């Protein structure tokens, strides 16, 4: 998923997690990692990271959440269709995308493992 390597396979998530592991090792404490996905890529993202064994990161400190989607419209308010029977959607503003993270997921996850 998003191979950015030139001479070998290197993935964006791999680099992010490797950098985060440097901090974890320095701090001697796990940092909770929240990964925002969309309804279109959630399953693929979760499966990819599980297949790669989270690139060595402790799975207990990883939480996935799905960003809210809204109907896709043009500047005149006309709704776009993805298919004849399905309305096209696009991500909402970033701040709105955090709404699905209820207190149970967003706030208590790190405390539960502290």
Bridge partners (DSSP) of residue 86 are 83
First to last CA, the chain: 31
pTM of the model: 0.67
Whole-number Å distance between alpha carbons of 65 and 90 = 16
Tens-place pLDDT, residues 27-58: 999 999 999 888 888 999 999 999 999 999 99
Given pLDDT bands bounded at 50, 70 and 90, which one contains residue 107? low
pLDDT digits (tens, 9 = 90+) for 65-81: 887 777 788 888 888 88
**Contact predicate 100/65, CB 8 Å:** yes
């Amino acid at each position: 998923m998003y191979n950015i390597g030139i001479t070998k396979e290197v993935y964006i998530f791999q680099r992010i997690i490797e950098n985060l592991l440097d901090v974890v090792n320095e701090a001697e404490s796990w940092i909770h990692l929240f990964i925002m996905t969309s309804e279109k890529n959630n399953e693929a993202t979760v499966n990819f990271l599980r297949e790669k064994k989270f690139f060595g990161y402790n799975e207990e400190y990883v939480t996935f959440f799905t960003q809210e989607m809204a109907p896709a419209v043009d500047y005149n308010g006309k709704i776009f269709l993805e298919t004849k029977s399905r309305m096209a959607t696009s991500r909402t503003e970033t701040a709105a995308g955090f709404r699905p993270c209820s207190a149970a997921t967003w706030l208590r996850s790190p405390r539960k493992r502290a």
